[in-house]
Structure 1
Amino acid sequence: MLSTRHGVRPLAAADLDAFLALTARDPVVNVFADYRARTTNLEPRWLGGEMWGRFDGGELVAACHVGANLVPVGATADDARAFAERALTRGRTVSTIVGPHDAVEALWNGVAASWGRPREARWQQPHLEIAGPPAVEPDPRVRRTTRQDMAELYPACVAMYTEEVGVSPEHGGGAELYRARVTQLMNRGWSFATFDGDRLVFKAEVACASAHAAQIQGVWVAPDRRGEGLAERGMAAVVEMVRAEVAPVVSLYVNEWNEPARRAYARVGFQETARFSTVMF
C-alpha cells in the first residue's frame, strides 16, 4: 500500500522492468541493485529483505534496497528523506547504509536521531571505473581460485575484511556464513589471486555484476609484500579477465584516506566518476 504522503511501497516481481529501467539510468553506479534485482526477481524471500520504490504520478522515480545493507538507488535527497521516514517505522535492521554520497547523507540525517551513533562513517569514498585496457602490464600469475586454494584464500579474506571494516567477519558466530560467501564467489569464477609459490600474496573478487559492469571488492595484498606493485599488476590482470569474461566496465569504491590504494588504481587506469558514503553500525 502506498504511503499517502510520499508514494513509497515495497516492490515486487511485477515492478522488475520499471526497476531495471531505473538502474539503467546509471548502470555502473547501480550495478549492485541491478544484480540483486535480476538474481531475486525482487521477491522478498530471495532478497532477504525488501526493495522499496518511490513513485511520482505512477512512475517509479527512486528505490532503496533494504537487507543487510540500506542502499539508495537513483535517489535524490528528497527521495532519501522519504525512505528514511519509512525506515523509522521499523527500526534499524541493517548493518550499513551505503551508496552515492548525497542520498546516503540525506538518509542518515533522517534516521540518525533514532538509530544512534554509528560505529564509523566514511563520507567521501571515490567511486572508480575503467572501461578499457589497463595502463600497466598485468601480472601473468593472477588466476581464478579453486577449492584447493581455500587454506590460503579464506584467511586472506578474513584479514582483508577485518582490516577494512574493523570487525572480523567471524565475530558473533559468522564464520560459517562468511566461508559460504567466499566459496560462492569462488564457484562463480569471481575470485582471483596471485600466488608466490604456495603463498597467496594478492587477491580480489567480483562482488556483483550485470551486463553493463562488474564491481570489485576485497582487494588485498599480504602486509609484508606491500609496496612491490602487486596490487597494480594484480588489478590490471583482474581488469583484463573481468572485462573479457564478465562485463565491459569494472568499478570499485575506495576509502578517501587510502592513498596507496588510490595511487595504485590510478596507475591501472581507473577514473573517479562519483563519490560514495558508508555508514557502519
Structure 2
Amino acid sequence: MLTTTTTRVLEPGELDKALAVLDRDPVTNAFVAARVQAAGLDPWRLGGEMWGWYADGRLESLCYAGANLVPICATPDAVRAFADRARRSGRRCSSIVGPAAPTADLWSLLEPSWGPAREVRSHQPLMIATSTPANIAPDPLVRRVHKDEMDVIMPACVAMFTEEVGVSPLAGDGGLLYQARVAELVSSGRSFARVQDGRVVFKAEIGAATQRACQIQGVWVAPEDRGRGLSETGMAAVLGYALREVAPVVSLYVNDFNAAARAAYRRVGFREVGAFMSVLF
C-alpha cells in the first residue's frame, strides 16, 4: 500500500487538528501546547512556525520551529522530514529540545550541517507530581512575586539562567526579551520566591500551563543558602500553588547529572516518567 506524505507549515485554520496532536501527551507537550492555546498558529503571534507531517492527508506529527526546535509526537519518518526542512531553512533556533528519542534522531540528522553544538544534554529526566508531599511542609515564606519587585527578582533569574545554560540571558539584545518573559510570568502570577532582606533566597516559576498539565522551571536557591533544604520546602510550596490553581499534573525536567536536585524533587513527590534531550547552540 502506498502512503502519501507531506510536510508543510500549518495554517491558522488547522488549530483544532494541531491541538488534537498536542493533547496526545499533555505533559510532554505542555510547553508548546500552552503557546498554541494562547497564540494560535499565526507565526507572528506564535513566535515561530508550526510544521505538520501528514500521512494520507492526516496530521500525524508536529514540529515547533521558533527560538527552540521542538519535535512533537514525531514518528521516525516525520523526524526525517522535519530534518530535511530544517536543513533547507537553516538554523534559526538557539536550541533543539524535546522527548529524548526523537530529539536524538533529529540532531543526528542535523549535526552534519548545524553542528557543532555548544552543549548536548542527552538525558534530562522528565518528572511529574499529582499531589503535595505528606512529609515536607511547604515554606510559608514562598509567595508570588509582586509586580513592583522586578528589580528584586531579575538578578536571581539572570543568575539561574547563566548557571543552568552557561551563557547570560543579557547577551545579544541586552536582556530585553528575557526581561519581558520574566515580567510576563510575574504579571500572570506564575513567579514565586522567598525574599529575605531584599534578596531572593529561593525562586521558581510555573513556566507553561494548560488545563491538563503545567511545568515548573527556573528552580534556584542562592548559593550561600544551599544545603538548608530550601529547595524542598520551596518546591513543596510552589507545587501546592500549581496543583490548587493551575493543573492536576505538575511536571519539570532536570539534568541527569544534577543528582542533588533529582533527589530533592523525589522527596517532594516527583517521579520520573520519561526523558527530554536538549541541544544548545
Provide the TM-score with structure 1 as the length reference.
Answer: 0.96
> Quick one: structure 1 residues 170 and 5, their matched pair in 2 at CA, closer, same or farther if it must change by over 3 Å?
farther
Give the deviation of 1:250 after TM superposition.
Answer: 0.7
Rounded to whole Å, the distance in 1 between the matches of 2:200 and 2:162 is: 17
Residue 6 of structure 2: aligned partner? 7
Q: Aligned residues: percent identity? A: 52
Q: What amino acid sits opposite 1:48 in the alignment?
A: G
Contact 2:4-2:56 within 8 A present in 1 as well: no
Q: How far has the Cα of 1:107 moved from its partner?
A: 0.7
Other-structure match for 1:76: 75
Question: CA separation in 1, counterparts of 2:174 and 2:272?
Answer: 33
Residues 76 and 102 in structure 1, CA contact (< 8 A), matched pair in contact too: no
CA contact (8 A) 2:5 2:57 kept: no
Over residues 152-188 of structure 1, what are the superposed CA-to-partner deviations in whole Å (9 max), with x where a residue is unaligned? 2100000000000000000123312211111110000
**What amino acid sits opposite 1:54 in the alignment?**
W
Separation of aligned partners in 2, 1:176 and 1:64 = 26
Alpha-carbon distance in 1 for matches of 2:97, 2:20: 21
Q: Is the 8 A contact 1:214 1:247 kept in 2?
A: yes
Aligned to 2:89, what secondary structure does the other structure show?
coil
CA contact (8 A) 1:134 1:239 kept: no
Q: Is the CA contact 1:192–1:205 (under 8 Å) kept in the aligned structure 2?
A: yes
**Matches for 1:59-98 after TM superposition, within 5 Å:** 59-98=58-97
State how far apart, in whole Å, the 1-side matches of 2:44 and 2:110 are. 26
- Structure 1: gaps of 5 or more residues: none
Matches within 5 A, 1:111-260: 111-135=110-134, 136-260=136-260
| Matched length | 278
- CA distance in structure 1 between the partners assigned to 2:203 and 2:87 by the alignment: 39
Other structure's SS at 1:89 match: helix
Give TM-score, length-normalised by structure 2.
0.96
Which whole-Å CA distance do the structure 1 matches of 2:277 and 2:44 have between them? 28
Specify whether residues 280 and 5 from structure 1 end up closer, same or farther in structure 2 by C-alpha distance, changes over 3 A only: farther
User: Match of 1:189, SS?
Assistant: coil
C-alpha distance in 2 between matches for 1:121 and 1:175: 24
Cα distance in 2, alignment partners of residues 230 and 75 from structure 1? 38
Gaps of 5+ in 2: none
SS at match of 1:81: helix
Return the letter of the residue paired with 2:150. M
- Give, as a single letter, the amino acid of the residue that structure 1 aligns with 2:118: R
Quote the Cα distance in structure 2 between the aligned partners of 1:137 and 1:253. 23
Alpha-carbon distance, 1:6 to partner: 4.2
In 2: Cα distance, 1:8 partner to 1:213 partner: 28
Instruction: For residues 19-45 of structure 1, give each alpha carbon's deviation from its aligned partner in whole angstroms, at most 9, with x where no partner exists.
Output: 111111111111112111111111111
Q: 1:50-73 deviations in whole A, cap 9, x for unaligned?
A: 000101111111000000000011
Question: In angstroms, what is the RMSD of aligned CA positions?
Answer: 1.3
Where does residue 54 of structure 1 map in the other structure? 53
Query: What is the identity, as a one-letter code, of the residue corresponding to 2:174?
Result: G
CA distance in 1 between partners of 2:5 and 2:157 (Å): 41
Give, as a single letter, the amino acid of the residue that structure 2 aligns with 1:121. V
1:23 aligns with 2:14: no
- The answer to whether structure 1 residue 278 and structure 2 residue 257 are counterparts is no
Aligned 1:97-116 pairs, distance under 5 A: 97-116=96-115
| Counterparts of 2:77 and 2:107, CA distance in 1 | 13
